[in-house]
Structure 1
Amino acid sequence: MKSGRFDHITDTQLLDLFYSDKDQKWIGILLERYTLLLFGLCMKYLKDEVEARDCVQQIFLKVLTELPKYKVDYFKSWLYMVAKNQCLMKLRGKSVKEFKELTEHLAVEENFNKEAILENELTFQFLEEALIELNEEQRLCVTLFYLQKESYLQISERTGYSLLQVKSYIQNGKRNLKLLLLKKLNANKAN
């Protein structure tokens, strides 16, 4: 649907039309106005075109289901809040998945009973705590390498550390992370 013939109608007027007759075409016109802005916002947070497009679709669905429930006065501000929250939720979900991958990686390397570790709800919490306890250089390099999947070269360019330093920080950080995680897991078993 081309919104050109509705360009003279403000967001507030379109909202009023929607609230008066519940016709979703008014929401469609509003969403069409902000599609590029939404995509830009999602790209800013997610940094992946496919994920950003998917997120825009999820935002559209959320708007269609949530807008009838509330009296929204400032559509653009409300839409921005919905979009930002959707991006943050997607990033949180991604972080949990990446922490799980890192935990599995550490578990395999140490020949732990992988199932027992993954079943333990506290493992992810302990891993986050252990990551925070690393020194700044190790924490940064481990996070960029394992969680953000950057190469040694990318990390070197981003941080200003030499390739040897990056490799060293990752190796030492991974070893220290394992030790801290083991310590936390053993302390938890003792309690």
Structure 2
Amino acid sequence: MSQHQFDHINDNQLLEHFHADKDNRWLGILLQRYTLLLLGVCMKYLKNEDEAKDAVQQVFLKAITELQKYKVDYFKSWLYTVAKNHCLMKLRDKGKYSIELNEKVNGIAEETMGTSIFEKDKALNAMEMALEQLNDDQKQCVTLFYLKKKSYQEITEQTGYTLLQVKSHIQNGKRNLKILMLQMQKNE
């Protein structure tokens, strides 16, 4: 079966086919489309071809697992983010990199600012500036939840806020981040 016989089917349609019949063949077709993109992303971060190829395989496995659980609206940008985060985690585990602000804040950067690599960097800078404009409670909770991957319970223990306050600060902080970033985009 030739990969090109599916060129007329877009990414979202392939995902719909997968969710309809749970046949991993559809994901295989979709992931094959982005093998070179993933290899490029992984090479950019890992600077080693063998490690990059291994990372691509790990990203494929993660994508298959995650796509069985969740629906993804913007597959290409989601896959890029998964690959980038995988590489950053590998580098962090090696002690070569400390995690900085990135697209972890639920894809807010992608939703509001676009998806090219140049636009992503611009969006991340805007998100960093917007994060600084949040009130201290929201900034602390958003940072702990999205960037430091703390659970609600861990955040309540660390901050002294109630569970309801933590959820509220995260929800309001996320909304305010989006508003601030959209304002920055309009002012460009």
Q: Which protein has the bigger helix share? A: 1
TM-score, normalised with respect to structure 1: 0.49
TM-score, normalised with respect to structure 2: 0.50
If you compute each CA radius of gyration, which structure gives the higher value, 1 or 2? Answer: 1
